[in-house]
Structures are given as C-alpha cells and as structure tokens.
Chain A
Amino acid sequence: MQEPVTISEFTREVKLHFEAKFNFVNVIGEISNFKHHSSGHFYFTLKDDKAQVSANMWSSKNQLLRFTPSNGMKVIVKGRVTVYESKGTYQIDVFEMQPAGEGELQVAFEKLKQKLFAEGMFDVIHKKPLPDFPERVGIITSETGAALQDFIRVTNKRYPLVKLYLFNASMQGRGAAQSISSSIKKANKFFASDQSSLDLIILARGGGSIEDLWCFNEEIVAREIFRSGLPVVSAVGHEIDFTISDFVADLRAPTPSAAAEMIFPDILELKKRLNVYAEDLKGITGEKFNRVKKILNNISTNYYFNKPMDILNEYKLRIDDIDKGISDCLKSKLLKLKARLDSNEKLLNSLGPEMVLKRGYTIITKKDKIINSKKLLKDRDKVGITFFDGDVEAVIKDEGTNYKIDF
C-alpha cells in the first residue's frame, strides 16, 4: 500500500501524463455554450451526441480565424489538452479551427438568413432610396484592396463630381466583422468639412471563398447595416456570391465596379441630356413666342381690329369738310366787310376837307378854331390858312366892310 499523496501531487501527476499524451489532438465536434470573453478569448464546449469537452481558444490564436464560431456549428479543431489544476478539469487548448465542411458555413448562413428574414430585416419597406446624384459617398473597404481601385476607376470615368470618403477596414478574417460594423457606425456619424453628412455608404470587397467573405455573413454586420440611417450598398464578392449583407443592404451590387455603375449617373449621358434640355428650352419658348407673334399679326391686320381706324378716318374727313365750310363762310363775310370798308373810305374821303381844299378852298383858323364867319374876325387878327398842301400864317387888315388879308 502506497502512502497517500496530496491532491496537488496527484493532479500534477495527471497533468504531466495527460498533457504529454495529448499534446496534439485533432477532433471534430459541434460548438455549444460559446462565449466570446471581453478579453478576446473564446470559451466553448465541443460535443457530439454522447460526450463533451471544454475548449478555449486564446485571442492570439482566434484573431486568425476567418469566421466567428457560433453555437451549433460543426468544426474541426487542432490543439492540445491542458489540465487546470486548481479545478481538476481538463480542456482542449485550440490552435486552429475550421468549419467541418463548406456545408457547415452554408448551414450557419441559412440559419442566420432565416432568423433575420423572420425579423423582417430584409423587407422592402426598410429599403432606403438612393440619391439620384450622390455628392458624398463613404466607401468601407480595405485601402490596399483591388475593390477600392476598381470602384475608383469606374467612378472617375462615370461621375467625377462625387467626393469619396474612404473608411479603411479589414475585409477578411476574424475582426473584420467588428471592423466593418464600427466603420458603418462611424460613417453614419461622419460630417464633411461643410457639416453635411454622407449620402450613402458602400461596403466594397472583391471576390473570395465563402470563408473569405464570411464577415459579411455575420450578425453584427447585418444588424449594423440595418441600423444605418444612411443607405447602404453591399458590393461584396463576385457576381454569384450572395452574403447576408446583400439581403439587408438597401442595394446589392454584384461587384464593386458594378456598384459604381449602379449608384452614379453617367456623365456622358448627363451631357447628352443637357443638350436635349437646351434644345427643349429654346424650342418650347421659341415656339410660344412665334405663336404670339403670329397672333399679334393676325389681330393687327384683322378687319374688326382696323374698323376703329376707319371710323376715325371718316370723322377726320367730316372735320375737314366742316373746317372748309367754316373757312368759306368766313371768307365771304370778310370780303363783304372789306367792300363795306372800301366804300366807307371813299365816302369819308369825299366828306373830308382834303378834296375841297384841292378844289381851291382854304380853311382859316384863329387860335386853332375854324373861322366860318366874317364876324369872328377883326383888324390885326392873326389867322392860319390851311391849303390842301400846307398851312400859312396871315394878318387881317380891316378896310371897311372887307377884310384885306396881309400875309
């Protein structure tokens, strides 16, 4: 009978044997009880229908994974057995993990798809419309990837008016899902220098295996796309590759370059349309003006429009007639007056002294008074004698009954 050993000693013995015996294991099993600890480590259980074993995968190792393990997924893991002495438990310390087959990822894909579909996350009513002329576009992609170059090439040719904002994210492997969803969040909060937000977001990634594209099949990415206030275009993979992102996104483009063609108008097409618009603008207004001109012409030559002119002309004629009548009448009146004036003048002339004087009579005045009687004169009176051609002065000499006039 051996001496009893302490638990510590016993467990140390077990640990040494176990870990030496199982320093490399390669097992297949289904994941359950999966926990992604905040430290980055994975803790889970691997099981089949009869047995189970605890497992862990440290963050230094699980960062290289191309997918996020989830409960129910069948995986093949490579690792070693470790014994946790203080609890007397053993577990598999996993170095490598792979889906047990493409079929496994396909199952996970279908499961998530069904779940999100049931939640209504793919419903058309949630699809946001895309702007006709995007001005600011956020592109979430790897800055070193071909997807970015493809997208830029097509955009530059098609619609260089746009401003692209590049959010560099890892597009493959573990951590990609986290990187993509935080970029979506960031793009939603982004404001350009003029304080305007982005018009839409594009997730761009070139083609690859289902594992390469797995991050676009992860729930956190899907939920972040769904939560995005900005329209999201999923341009992932190559033509036939469908991901959960494609279903949740507001638009699915088969490739990144196709995305550029789908979201941007073609500058050549726009130039052509502007030419058409220029013609239309001139055509429509020109036609209207020609029509108005024609109408104006019609009106101005129209009989009824010109009738007032006729009436006016008629009045004009009548006024002229009246005018003539008035002047004729005045003329004859004037002539008559003139004739009367003429005869009066003659009469006046015949009544006046001039003609009498011419015949030899004179007028004698004394102190400017006409002397028409001998009685008005006496000797030595100074008198004026007016002849038809002038006046002379004279003095009266009284010699009895007759006056003798001395000049």
Chain B
Amino acid sequence: MKNKKDTAVNEENISFERSFKRLEEILVKLENDIEDYSLEEIIKHYQEGLKLLKICRSKLSEAELVIEKISTEQDN
C-alpha cells in the first residue's frame, strides 16, 4: 500500500501548494482505495485532511501581497 509519495506532512511551514496538493492526493486515495485501507488508516487520512484544510484556509485568508524591489543597474 505504502509508496514514497505517501508521506504525511508535519511541518508547520508547509507551502500552500504542498498542503493543497497533499489534500487532493488524500482525497483521491480515499476515493479510489478506501476499501484497501484499515479503519485506522482512514481515520489517519481523515485527520490529516482536516489539518491540511485548516492550513489552506488560513493561508488564503491571511494572504497579503508582498512586493520587493530588486536593485538593478537601471536604478543607478
């Protein structure tokens, strides 16, 4: 069942992209392979999914555009 990509994410500093894609990955797995999972695994995936949902939502609601100017020879 387990492959290399099936690694749960733990870091708090995870990017939006990674959390969003991991969430999609979990949903696809649950949708396709739910019969292959033990109830314990399903609960584990469910909880990770909830955590990722929370991360994604807070990143979207807290987002604020940042613009940084990089000095180029034009500035001289």
Which positions in A face B, CB cutoff 8 Å? Answer: 131-133, 135, 138, 143, 152, 155-156, 159-170, 179, 182-183, 186-187, 190, 267, 270-271, 274, 277-278, 280-281, 284-285, 288-289, 292
Contact B60 A267 (CB under 8 A): yes
Instruction: List the A residue with the shortest CB-CB distance to B53.
Output: A278
Q: Which residues of B contact A131 (CB under 8 A)?
A: 17
B11 at the binding interface (Cβ < 8 Å) = no
Contact A274 B57 (CB under 8 A): yes
Contact A168 B72 (CB under 8 A): yes
Q: Could you list 22 examples of A-B contacts with CB < 8 Å? A: A132-B21, A162-B65, A164-B66, A166-B68, A166-B70, A168-B70, A169-B74, A186-B72, A267-B60, A270-B20, A274-B60, A277-B23, A277-B49, A277-B53, A278-B53, A281-B26, A281-B53, A284-B27, A285-B42, A285-B46, A289-B39, A292-B39
Q: Which residues of B contact A284 (CB under 8 A)?
A: 27, 30-31, 34
Contact B70 A135 (CB under 8 A): no
Chain B interface, number of residues (Cβ within 8 angstroms): 36
Contact B30 A133 (CB under 8 A): no
**Given contacts A285-B42, A288-B42, A292-B39, are A164 and B65 in contact (CB under 8 A)?**
yes
**Complex Cα–Cα for A400 and B8 (A):** 127
Q: A163-B66, A271-B57, A281-B30 are in contact. List 6 more A-B contacts (CB 8 A).
A: A138-B70, A163-B68, A165-B68, A168-B75, A274-B57, A277-B27
B4 at the binding interface (Cβ < 8 Å) = no
Most buried by B among A135, A165, A274, A289: A274
Q: Which residues of B contact A179 (CB under 8 A)?
A: 72-74
Contact A274 B56 (CB under 8 A): yes
**Given contacts A267-B60, A274-B57, A281-B30, are A165 and B70 in contact (CB under 8 A)?**
yes
Instruction: List the B residue with the shortest CB-CB distance to A179.
Output: B74
**Complex Cα–Cα for A278 and B55 (A):** 12
Q: Which residues of B contact A143 (CB under 8 A)?
A: 69
B40 to chain A, nearest CB (A): 12
Q: Which residues of A contact B15 (CB under 8 A)?
A: 133, 135
Contact B27 A280 (CB under 8 A): yes
**Given contacts A133-B20, A156-B65, A281-B53, are A161 and B60 in contact (CB under 8 A)?**
yes
B15 to chain A, nearest CB (A): 6
B1-51 residues at the A interface, CB under 8 angstroms: 15-17, 20-21, 23-24, 26-27, 30-31, 34, 39, 42-43, 45-46, 49-50
**Complex Cα–Cα for A292 and B37 (A):** 12
**Complex Cα–Cα for A64 and B57 (A):** 51
A287 to chain B, nearest CB (A): 9
B55 to chain A, nearest CB (A): 10
Closest 7 CB pairs of A and B: A133-B17, A160-B63, A160-B65, A161-B63, A281-B49, A164-B67, A285-B46
